[in-house]
């Protein structure tokens, strides 16, 4: 296996973006930032891969229009996933492993505010017996939260603690759209929204884009003194039907984590769009009390669709570049109630890599 | 004022799906007023039945009729229902394990407030008045009072097994143009055709784009285009289709406006279809001013100018 590192990361997150659903306007400055970070031009990028969804954009082939932000003369090596940025990164990682390219720039975009996000996402569901009921994202998360409360695995206080810590940490994140912790008591005093969820238990509807740069071996060392080497990457999926899943668990997250060496992880960026989901992930990944969870504020502070998972990778990589940590974990989710999960480890050294 | 123009848009279509023998069996059951589950290799009864066993991956072949009464295993309140949910007023979504089944089914629960729901409460199916072989043949669940039992479904005309299902999708968006597209549409509302020039390669794009697709540079310099141009290629539309506004045959053509580097697709009128040709010089014909909006339809069509055809060399790089 080739050594591949994350060497670039840029993002934009906002509550409502005054521009087109293809987000070309947002991607151009993000790419510019990445050329500055890497010292590259677009011609140094061996492979491009994007993540987005036409349902979110409300127009077909929205990713084709987004390619304008790259510039395609001479022609570029390009692909797309109807998934989060983290999965686009996975495709790019595979591409680099083939030896065909040494570098990749992966990006993702989504204008969640264009439609009714929690409704649009019902199109991800089993189409015969679920989508026709239009169960919205918040409701499905609510069923999951209740299942855990009834089973005695967590309570409203534990959920509020997650939200309070996220909103407090988000104060240091210039991109967070919701920030400002108060106290667990104050959060618990707020009205119930979608019982058993309060609004702060649910991630905000966020527009935005994000991009990551990957490079192999010496190409990575040219860019960063401490590249964030991808020493493990794994993803699994749970069944589509909500009934056959134990909603208090996420077996796919557990399996993804078990495939990696999570010993020594200092910081974990978990993609948990609902507060109780962080509790599930923490248990499934076996993260101890000494692991700092979501110092960026996480998805409860802002959750741009199709970028939110990849942003976790970028945040985790930044802690390696800065020397703050030697080993970090990033997690991305997709689908209803933690159905699909990707986990990766990032390290300052490639020793002990599982891939 | 917002930087960009925006407008509501609805994307609507029907998905027509074949159901296969397992989902079809379940939906046929609903139409006939019974709930059918499938037995897995582990002996569990799953509702709706799974097409393939989660362990052996064998096709499900054993079906079991379960009760229309069951127990709530989880629920959530829906304070702000979205379009097409089972109710347009607040309600609960619930996971209900029907008697005789081992895993829960997702559906709506008709209660007036979250205070009326508890995990473990007994509920029963409320059947839809008309049943067609669709998950909405179950209108919802409703609380079962102590002493009450399941109610038989109103009789249904037994029919052929259900083999297909249509799911109607209708999504509402507030569509926002990019700042560059907004420039273009504002121009049209003033009778002007606006483009932008790429500072790197000097190409002029119409409609303007947020970045030059050749080199990725943001396009910044605004350029007003001529209203005359050259047909670079065209097709004669002979086929009638739904929503067509003009009776065929008519000509749809790429018009390269003078000074532009990309052609616009528009309608050619004022000339018999068989006389339209590559290189023909045309000009924009606008609708009456009081019909203008933020739309390319302000230009009713392009019509021949009567000038001699353009030399092939003047447009060969734009084909
Ligand atoms: Zn250019």
What tens digit of pLDDT does each residue of B248-261 get?
999 999 999 999 99
Chain B nearest-CA residue for A25: B210
pLDDT of residue A240: 86
Q: Are A235 and A321 in contact (CB under 8 A)?
A: no
pLDDT at B3 over 90: no
Distance from CA of B19 to the nearest CA of A (A): 8
Residue B276: closest CA among B230, B226, B228: B230
Would you call A20 and B77 a contact, using CB atoms and an 8 Å cutoff?
Answer: no
Q: In this predicted structure, what is the pLDDT of residue B1?
A: 57
- Interface ipTM above 0.90: yes
Neighbours of A215 (CB within 10 A): 29
**CA–CA distance, A119 with B84 (Å, rounded to integer):** 9
Residue B192 scores a pLDDT above 90: yes
Pairwise CB contact (< 8 Å): B76 & A129: no
Closest residue in B to A129 (Cα) is: B135
Of B50, B86, B210, the CB nearest to A133: B86
CB A130 within 8 A of CB A329: no
Given a cut of 70, whether residue A29 has pLDDT beyond it is yes
Distance (Å, rounded) from C-alpha B114 to C-alpha B314?
72
State pLDDT tens for residues A282-295: 999 999 999 999 99
How far the first Cα of chain B sits from its last, in Å, is 39
B1 versus A220: the higher-pLDDT residue is A220
Please provide residue A153's backbone torsions phi and psi, each rounded to the nearest 5 degrees.
-85, -25
Distance CA A257, CA B69 (A): 40
- Rounded distance from Cα A349 to ligand 1 centre (Å): 41
Q: Predicted confidence band at B146 (pLDDT cuts at 50, 70, 90)?
A: confident
Cα–Cα distance, A240 to B46 (Å, whole number): 13
The answer to whether the beta carbons of residues A259 and A322 sit under 8 Å apart is no
Q: Is A155 helix (H, G, I), strand (E, B) or coil?
A: coil
Q: Which residue of B19, B30, B81, B82 is the best one to mutate when testing the A interface, meaning the one whose CB has the most A CBs within 10 A? A: B82
Mean pLDDT score, B121-126: 96
- How far does the centroid of ligand 1 lie from the alpha carbon of residue A306, in Å? 28
Summarize the confidence of residues B215-226 as an average pLDDT.
94
Answer whether residue A149 shows pLDDT above 60. Answer: yes
Residues A253-270 pLDDT 10s? 999 999 999 999 999 999
Within 172-211 of A, beta carbons closer than 8 Å to B belong to 192-197
- Name which of A19, A59, A131 is nearest B178 (Cβ-Cβ): A19
Mean pLDDT of chain A: 96
Q: How far is the CA of B204 from the centre of ligand 1 (A)?
A: 9
Average pLDDT over residues A124-141: 96
Backbone angles phi, psi at A291, to 5 degrees: -90, 125
Contact flag B74-A71 (C-beta cutoff 8 Å): no
């Amino acid at each position: 296996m080739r050594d591949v590192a994350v060497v670039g990361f840029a993002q934009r997150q906002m509550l409502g973006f005054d521009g087109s659903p293809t987000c070309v306007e947002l991607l151009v400055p993000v790419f510019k930032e990445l050329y500055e970070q890497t010292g590259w031009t677009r011609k140094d990028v061996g492979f491009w891969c994007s993540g987005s969804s036409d349902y979110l954009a409300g127009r077909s082939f929205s990713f084709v229009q987004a390619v304008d932000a790259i510039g395609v003369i001479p022609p570029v090596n390009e692909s797309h996933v109807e998934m989060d940025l983290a999965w686009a990164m996975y495709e790019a990682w595979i591409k680099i492993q083939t030896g065909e390219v040494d570098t990749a720039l992966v990006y993702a975009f989504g204008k969640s505010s264009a439609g009714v996000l929690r409704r649009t996402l019902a199109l991800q569901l089993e189409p015969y017996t679920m989508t026709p009921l239009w169960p919205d994202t918040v409701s499905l998360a609510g069923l999951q939260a209740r299942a855990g409360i009834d089973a005695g695995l967590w309570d409203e206080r534990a959920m509020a603690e997650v939200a309070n810590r996220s909103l407090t940490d988000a104060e240091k994140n210039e991109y967070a759209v919701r920030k400002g912790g108060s106290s667990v008591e104050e959060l618990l005093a707020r009205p119930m929204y979608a019982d058993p969820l309060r609004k702060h238990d649910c991630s905000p509807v966020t527009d935005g884009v994000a991009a990551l740069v990957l490079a192999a071996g010496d190409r990575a060392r040219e860019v960063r003194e401490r590249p964030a080497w991808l020493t493990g990457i794994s993803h699994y999926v749970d069944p589509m039907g909500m009934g056959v899943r134990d909603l208090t668990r996420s077996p796919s997250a557990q399996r993804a984590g078990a495939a990696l060496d999570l010993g020594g992880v200092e910081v974990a960026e978990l993609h948990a769009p609902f507060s109780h989901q962080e509790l599930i992930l923490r248990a499934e990944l076996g993260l101890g009390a000494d692991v700092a969870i979501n110092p960026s504020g996480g998805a409860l502070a802002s959750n741009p669709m199709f970028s939110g998972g990849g942003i976790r990778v970028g945040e985790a990589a930044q802690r390696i570049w800065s020397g703050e940590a030697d080993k970090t974990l990033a997690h991305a989710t997709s689908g209803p109630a933690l159905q699909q999960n990707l986990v990766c480890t990032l390290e300052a050294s490639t020793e002990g890599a599982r891939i | 004022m917002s930087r960009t123009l925006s407008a509501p848009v609805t994307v609507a279509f029907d998905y027509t799906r074949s159901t296969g023998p397992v989902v079809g069996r379940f939906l046929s059951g609903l139409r006939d007023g019974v709930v059918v589950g499938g037995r897995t290799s582990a002996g569990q009864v799953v509702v709706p039945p799974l097409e393939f066993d989660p362990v052996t991956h064998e096709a499900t072949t054993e079906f079991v009729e379960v009760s229309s009464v069951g127990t709530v295993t989880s629920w959530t309140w829906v304070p702000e229902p979205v379009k097409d949910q089972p109710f347009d007023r607040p309600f609960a979504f619930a996971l209900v394990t029907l008697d005789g089944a081992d895993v829960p089914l997702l559906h709506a629960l008709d209660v007036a407030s979250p205070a009326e729901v508890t995990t473990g409460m007994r509920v029963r199916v409320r059947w839809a008045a008309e049943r067609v072989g669709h998950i909405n043949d179950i209108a919802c669940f409703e609380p079962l009072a102590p002493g009450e039992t399941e109610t038989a479904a109103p009789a249904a005309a037994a029919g052929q097994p259900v083999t297909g299902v249509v799911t109607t999708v209708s999504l509402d968006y507030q569509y926002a143009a990019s700042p560059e597209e907004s420039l273009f549409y504002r121009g049209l509302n003033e009778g002007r055709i606006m483009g932008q020039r790429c500072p790197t390669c000097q190409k002029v794009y119409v409609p303007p784009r947020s970045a030059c697709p050749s080199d990725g540079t943001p396009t910044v310099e605004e350029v007003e285009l001529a209203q005359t141009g050259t047909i670079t290629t065209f097709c004669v539309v002979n086929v009638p289709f739904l929503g067509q506004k003009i009776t065929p045959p008519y000509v749809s053509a790429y018009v390269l406006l003078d000074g532009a580097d990309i052609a616009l697709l528009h309608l050619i009128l004022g000339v018999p279809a068989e006389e339209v040709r590559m290189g023909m010089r045309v000009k924009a014909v606008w609708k009456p001013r009081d019909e203008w909006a933020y739309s390319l339809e302000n230009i009713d069509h392009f019509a021949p100018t009567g000038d001699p055809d353009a030399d092939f060399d003047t447009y060969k790089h734009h084909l």
